[in-house]
Structure 1
Amino acid sequence: MSEWNKNNSAHRITWITLYILRQHRSLFPGAGSLLMPDLVFFNKTSDADLRRSLAEMIALQVHSVFISQFGVGLEDGKTEDQAVSEMVTILVDELKSIHDLSEVNDVSYKFFNEEDEPIL
């Protein structure tokens, strides 16, 4: 996994999208380490089905913001259902972070300026 970095478009846009959706209020430097239970939608007392439903709602909103507000497209061969499903898998996992979510998003979405970002 790459280091949490403001110059990585996937990291930056995932962070700001969750901020726009009012899921957190953290500044970028510390946001990568926020765990899913730190996000507003995550309710530890909810059962797994309700938590998954809420995660699906957030993932669909993230997808929508990526496409409509940031002009981010899906990677070749990825479908919306696949991208959303991969986000949901992270969103329901108490041990996953915003950094983990941004890494999954980087695999599903073609963020702008990716060709200019270093591979390592």
Structure 2
Amino acid sequence: MAKWTTENPAFVDTWFSLFRLGQTKKQFNAADTIKMSELTFFNPLSSKDNLKIEATLIADTIDKVFSSWGAKLENSISRNTAINDMIQILLDEDKTIKDLAEKNDENYFFTNEIKLENES
């Protein structure tokens, strides 16, 4: 399990996307342990169908944000798979923002990662 750090672009970009979408108000350093059930969209009184719609919209938006910032999907990952992976985590009330960010780190190759590899 990777350390929660601003040096990991997947962690920063996942947190920032959720922050800008109004899903959390916590600053980066305190965000890793926030559970999905604590995000704004996760209303325990909503039906499972409504939660899935909300999670799908959030995952789709995060994917578009990542793409607009130059992130690319890893070689064997499709956009559909990456979005579905995010949806599954967003719907699991016990998963954390760090869990979501780690999955995004597996599925996306971020611009800063490319830059760091090219510098080697």
> Structure 1 length as normaliser, TM-score?
0.90
1:56 matched residue in structure 2:
56
Alpha-carbon displacement from aligned partner over 1:5-49 (angstroms, at most 9, x marks no partner): 111111011011111111111111001111111111111111222
1:20 matched residue in structure 2:
20
Extract structure 1 runs of 4+ deviating beyond 3 A: none
Instruction: Among all aligned residue pairs of Structure 1 and Structure 2, give the percentage whose two residues are the same amino acid.
Output: 39
Distance, in Å, in 1 between the alignment partners of 2:62 and 2:44 is 21
AA partner of residue 3 (structure 2)? E
Residues paired across the two proteins, number? 116
2:90 matched residue in structure 1:
91
Gaps of 5+ in 1: none
> Structure 2 length as normaliser, TM-score?
0.90
Which secondary structure state, in structure 2, belongs to the residue aligned with residue 7 of structure 1?
coil
Distance, in Å, in 2 between the alignment partners of 1:112 and 1:30 is 24
Q: How far off its partner does 1:113 sit?
A: 2.7
Gaps of 5+ in 2: none
Which secondary structure state, in structure 1, belongs to the residue aligned with residue 46 of structure 2?
coil
1:40 matched residue in structure 2:
40
Q: How far off its partner does 1:52 sit?
A: 1.1
Q: How far off its partner does 1:114 sit?
A: 2.3
Q: How far off its partner does 1:74 sit?
A: 0.8
2:81 matched residue in structure 1:
82
2:112 matched residue in structure 1:
113
Distance, in Å, in 1 between the alignment partners of 2:22 and 2:56 is 16
Distance, in Å, in 2 between the alignment partners of 1:24 and 1:114 is 26
